[in-house]
Structure 1
Amino acid sequence: MSTDTDPDPARNWANWHERRVASVSAPHGPLSLTGTHWLSEHPEGRIPAVPGVWRERVDGVSVTAGADDGITVDGRPLTGEAVLTADRGPIGESRVAHGGRRLVVMRREGLWAVRDFDPDSPARRAFRTVEATPYDGRWVLPGHFRPYPESRTVRVGNADGRERGLGLAGELAFPVDGTEHTLRAAVEPDGSLWAVFADATSGLTSYRFRFLRLSPPAGDGTVTVDLNRVLLPPCAFAEHFICPFPPPGNTLPFEIPAGERNIIVR
């Protein structure tokens, strides 16, 4: 099997794609998300199809359960109350479980929610693979990241119909057919770049928008823009994710027939 050190970029890409399909179809991958439940919408503490009583607190979320609820916290049956904060690690290692399901606590813009990841979800059962364009070296481009003097936040729509803030740290510039184009991008905690964008294929031959993730730029801002590794957003796999739409300026006027395009179901 090829690895990312393989000198053949096409084999590297094929290996990356294989790992990606395995990751999204894993028992607690994005296909297993069956619900994102905002606790503000359930003030009585009862979430349909989710056992236990869930309530917001100043310092987190409390869950109260009895033996019949079948909830475990940190691997132990819960009979009584437990106070939880937001889960930060892999879904499969979340503190709260119900059989094979994982009940993940999350917080967005001051609001608390519980996500339900079920390995037996209809989406995971129906999934066959991720449609992706085979590697094409023409879509590996020289790029340059130009950070803003200060990070900024813009309000954008999200896949769940709400508007939220999207943090942006600078502009990623790269040439296509001799013309420079830019995407507004965020910098992740590890220094890598992330951008959400649309192009002339969006909603036609590819999902309505996609993600681009790049390695941290060099000290002079240079970075390789490999569009062969454009990703489908989580909401392409399950409608219960809250993916942001592209910010103003991030809709490219040409086709990017590269990277992940859509999911294929049985």
Structure 2
Amino acid sequence: MSTATNDVGTSFLADWEAWHAAREAELRRPHGWLSLTALHWLGTEPTTLDDLPGRWWYDDEGTWVEPDAASSSDGGAVLLDGVALTGRTRVGDASGAGVGAVVVGDRVLEILGRGAGNRGVRVRDPEAPGRTGFDGVPTFTPDPAWRLDAVLTPLADAERVAVGSSAERVQHVAQIIGHVRFTYDGAHHSLAVGAGGSIAFRDATSGRETFGLLRFLTVTPDDDGAVVLDFNRATNPPCAFSDYGTCPLPPPENVLPFAVTAGERTPTRPV
């Protein structure tokens, strides 16, 4: 039985408002995307970082930190899974991913890897101006006309497509699992769909009313592949809120020639 029907009904606005409220609540989390204050790319030689205690570096085995006694005694201890570190410790694996929860005070340190030679530490601080000064995400007026019927055609085997990133030094590879095809204003269009039903796209509003690099939309097909592209729920990527994101860019084919005047608009960053 098909479940992806475009039956809006009287609950459309209430459903959208509930979704929008949940979206903003997620952004407001103490260590969510609004809390980013730094992204430090590491080298292979131990070095100090401006806002963090100790010395940091990476090698073939992983990401390392060597805390310094002074900062630890002043309440700036580096903790791994709740235990204060007192000596040279590996906090990330060979891929760059963290091996546990790394914190300094109220700050969460995200240990990350973004391909060969790209090992980093990203800082999430509940007192970040982006979070404390957040007053909501601007949106277009919700409009049921922007719920478009579409069909997802899956690929027999996922395709790997090289895409860029909001961070110049990073290159992402998107896993394309299929394409959604739909009609808008009498013309046929297609968008590549990534893992989990995620669609990264640009349109004629990008860089004007909406964030220039991309927006995201997620689809859930029914058993027959039918989906509804509800552009009212198009969201900004993390890099729209912070300079410390490494967002993948859309596949080249995912640039719509018309203006999608629905969903989230460009957010205002607190000064």
**TM-score, with normalisation over the residues of structure 2?**
0.84
- Work out which of the residue numbers 10, 15, 25 in structure 2 matches 1:12: 15
Which residue in 2 is equivalent to 1:108? 114
Are 2:10 and 1:21 aligned?
Answer: no
The alpha-carbon deviation at position 245 of structure 1 amounts to 2.1
Matched, 1:158 2:165: yes
Instruction: Please state if 1:33 is matched with 2:36.
Output: yes
Is 1:136 the counterpart of 2:137? The answer is: no
Q: Which one-letter code corresponds to 2:57 in the other structure?
A: R
Counterpart for residue 182 of structure 1: 190
Question: Contact 1:153–1:165 (CA<8 Å) still a contact in 2?
Answer: no
SS in structure 1 opposite 2:153?
A: strand
- The answer on whether the counterparts of 1:227 and 1:259 sit within 8 Å (CA) in structure 2 is yes
Pick one of 243, 250, 254 that aligns with 2:254. 250
Larger radius of gyration: 2
Aligned equivalents of 1:50 and 1:173: distance in 2? 48
Residue number in structure 1 paired with 2:6: none
The answer for unaligned runs of 5 or more in structure 2 is: 1-8
Map 1:198-209 to 2 at 5 A: 198-208=202-212, 209=214
Of 56-65 and 237-246, deviating more is 56-65
Give the TM-score normalised by the residue count of structure 1: 0.85
Contact 1:127–1:263 (CA<8 Å) still a contact in 2?
no
Deviations 1:156-197 (A, max 9, x none): 321122351332222121221232211112123xxxx11211
CA displacement 1:110-151 (0-9 Å, x = unmatched): 432111111122222332110012321111122212223332
Amino acid of the residue matched to residue 152 of structure 2? Answer: F
- 1:87 to partner: Cα distance: 4.0
AA at the equivalent of 1:105? I
Tell me which protein shows more strand as a share of its residues: 1
Q: Using the TM superposition, name which of 117-126 and 129-138 deviates more.
A: 117-126
Distance 1:54 1:13 in 2: 44
Structure 1: gaps spanning 5 or more residues: 1-5, 89-93
Moved more, 251-260 or 154-163: 154-163
| Number of equivalences | 250
Corresponding position: 1:231 with 2:235 = yes
Change (3 A) 1:169 1:226: same
- Are the equivalent residues in 2 in contact too, given 1:156–1:163 (CA < 8 A)? no
Among 34, 54, 58, the residue aligned to 1:52: 54
Identity of aligned residues (%): 35
Compared CA separation, residues 87 and 219, structure 1 to 2 (3 A): farther
Question: Could you tell me how far 1:7 is from its partner in structure 2?
Answer: 6.7
Q: State the partner residue of 2:3.
A: none
Question: Could you tell me how far apart the structure 1 residues matched to 2:89 and 2:45 are?
Answer: 18
Partner residue, 1:210? 215
Q: Secondary structure at the match of 1:53?
A: strand
The answer to whether 1:241 aligns with 2:245 is yes
In the alignment, is residue 222 of structure 1 matched against residue 226 of structure 2? yes
Offset at residue 218 of structure 1 (A): 2.5
1:156 and 1:163 map into 2 onto residues whose CA distance is: 10
- Aligned partners of 1:52, 1:214: CA distance in 2, in Å? 44
**Two-structure CA RMSD over aligned residues (Å):** 2.2
Query: Which range moves more in the overlay, 154-163 or 241-250?
Result: 154-163
What is the CA–CA distance in structure 2 between the aligned matches of 1:198 and 1:137, rounded to whole Å?
Answer: 20
Contact 2:159 2:177 in 1 (8 A): yes
